[in-house]
């Protein structure tokens, strides 16, 4: 991470990427680190403090936009949205560790508002202005373009939305158009402004990337098993409580996209697995909150019909038996669920 911000300072000093500076990371990385590099270049902060300040600012922006979108979910999904919020706050503040400031960290922070808005779109909600949706789309386009493998996430989300809402819905989603436009303009800018990178550096990158630090598949799979356990627990809860929703689908597709990215890189690095870990814990939070809402929900009391005094005396004995039977059938599922959960736990 320190290398990234130091490299950004060199660019601010006037050196050119592809000729003066040779690096196989995509140029979007240096755009993301440019604010940190500028603070360090001006002498306001040292490089480590500049990175921390900017990335916590990215985090706050991500939380603000994501939580603002999740406020408008359907009533039945509000518990799942609360689980998303709590899980993301925990994992995004306590879990980054060595992944803090990495490209994966950027992709998650910039892509989370887009995922929250995708859940809204799937519900048919459109309570966000065009300006806000475009800003979310541009932010997501930057985050998913840091590495080409991350584009698997929006690709899966968009295919699902098109299948659910129809192809015409694409023109009603400014964030999707803004995301695609950002990626296309970024690729055009690479060819227009830094052709040396595209013709020389990229060829070197393709020839050496999968050769160095290549982990064996067993090690790659072992790390993946470590970070995916939360998602499996969340899946079990969702199946047992039958609470699968569109929010579950959005988070699951993001998890799948980042899992594809992890295996394509085939390194098994800790920060490569970080997005999978975040999506796994968020999925667990969504499933747990939605499941608990269903388990502890109370059925509204039914209106008591008017009964004549003559019929009432005749039905009194049967009514008491029916109440007892109903109480048994209401409490048996809760007992069975708790018993099953404890046995599996």
- In this predicted structure, the answer to whether residue 30 has a pLDDT above a threshold of 90 is no
174 — pLDDT class (breaks 50, 70, 90): very high
Count CB-CB contacts under 10 A for residue 173.
20
330 — pLDDT class (breaks 50, 70, 90): very low
pLDDT of residue 337: 45
Look at 10-19, 117-126, 168-177, 179-188 and tell me which has the smallest mean pLDDT.
Answer: 10-19
- Picking from 336, 226, 222, 238, the residue whose alpha carbon sits closest to that of residue 286 is 238
Please give the backbone phi and psi of residue 21, each rounded to the nearest 5 degrees, phi first: -120, 130
DSSP string, 31-50: HHHHHHHHHHHTTSS-HHHH
pLDDT of residue 215: 61
Cβ neighbours of residue 112 under 8 Å, at least 6 residues apart? 62, 65, 66, 88
């Amino acid at each position: 991470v320190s290398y990234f911000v130091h490299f950004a300072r060199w660019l601010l000093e006037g050196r050119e990427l592809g000729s003066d500076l040779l690096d196989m990371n995509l140029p979007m990385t240096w755009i993301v680190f440019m604010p940190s590099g500028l603070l360090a270049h001006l002498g306001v902060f040292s490089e480590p403090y500049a990175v921390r300040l900017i990335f916590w600012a990215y985090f706050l922006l991500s939380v603000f936009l994501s939580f603002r979108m999740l406020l408008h979910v359907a009533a039945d999904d509000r518990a799942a949205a609360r689980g998303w919020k709590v899980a993301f706050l925990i994992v995004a503040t306590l879990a980054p560790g060595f992944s803090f400031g990495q490209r994966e960290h950027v992709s998650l922070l910039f892509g989370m508002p887009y995922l929250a808005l995708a859940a809204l779109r799937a519900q048919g909600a459109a309570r966000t202005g065009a300006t806000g949706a475009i800003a979310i789309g541009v932010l997501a386009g930057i985050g998913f373009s840091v590495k080409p493998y991350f584009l698997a996430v929006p690709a899966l989300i968009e295919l699902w939305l098109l299948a659910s809402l129809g192809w015409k819905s694409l023109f009603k989603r400014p964030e999707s158009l803004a995301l695609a436009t950002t990626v296309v303009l970024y690729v055009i800018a690479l060819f227009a402004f830094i052709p040396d990178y595209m013709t020389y550096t990229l060829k070197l990158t393709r020839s050496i990337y999968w050769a160095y630090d290549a982990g064996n598949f067993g090690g790659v799979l072992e790390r993946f098993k470590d970070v995916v356990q939360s998602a499996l627990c969340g899946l079990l809860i969702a199946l047992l409580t039958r609470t699968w929703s569109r929010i579950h689908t959005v988070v699951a597709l993001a998890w799948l996209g980042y899992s594809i990215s992890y295996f394509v890189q085939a390194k098994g690095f800790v920060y490569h697995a970080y997005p999978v870990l975040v999506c796994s814990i968020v999925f667990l939070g969504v499933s747990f909150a939605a499941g608990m809402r269903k388990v502890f929900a109370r059925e509204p009391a039914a209106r008591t019909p008017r009964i004549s005094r003559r019929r009432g005396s005749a039905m009194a004995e049967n009514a008491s038996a029916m109440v007892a039977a109903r109480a048994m059938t209401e409490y048996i599922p809760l007992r069975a669920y708790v018993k099953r959960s404890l046995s599996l736990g």
